[in-house]
């Protein structure tokens, strides 16, 4: 899955994924550094441990591999203030 990051948005190449191992690429199209975390969502709140892609500088692409079970997940940038400014999106794992 490819995820585009730019102030203050994230755009995944897909919003539905099969469960199991997912290779994620983060392409930073913005000016600020961004990272990408994923956490499961239950009852409207993020729960459990986050899995992450590393901090990605402007214009760069980084990659991570995540193991995801079925459910709803939130992708978000954990850089200070970025989540609050709208850098998050939901994806469904089936």
Tens of pLDDT, residues 10-25: 999 999 999 999 999 9
The pLDDT value recorded for residue 20 is 97
Q: Is the dihedral of CA 83, 69, 18, 67 positive or negative?
A: positive
The closest alpha carbon to 73, from 4, 26, 14, 9, belongs to: 14
The pLDDT value recorded for residue 11 is 97
Where along the chain do its domains lie?
Answer: 2-93
With bands split at pLDDT 50, 70 and 90, how would you rate the model's confidence at 48?
A: very high
Identify the CATH number of the domain defined by range 2-93. 2.60.40.420
- How does pLDDT run across 29-41, given as a tens digit for each residue? 999 999 999 999 9
The pLDDT value recorded for residue 44 is 92
Can you give the pTM of this predicted structure?
0.93
Locus of tokens 């975390």: 37
């Amino acid at each position: 899955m490819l995820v585009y990051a730019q102030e203050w948005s994230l755009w995944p190449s897909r919003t539905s994924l099969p469960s199991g191992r997912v290779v994620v690429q983060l392409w930073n199209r913005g000016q600020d550094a961004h990272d990408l975390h994923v956490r499961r969502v239950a009852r409207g709140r993020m729960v459990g441990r986050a899995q992450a892609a590393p901090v990605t500088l402007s214009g760069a692409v980084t990659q991570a591999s995540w193991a995801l079970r079925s459910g709803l997940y939130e992708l978000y940038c954990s850089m200070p203030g970025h989540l609050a400014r709208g850098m998050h999106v939901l994806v469904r794992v089936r």
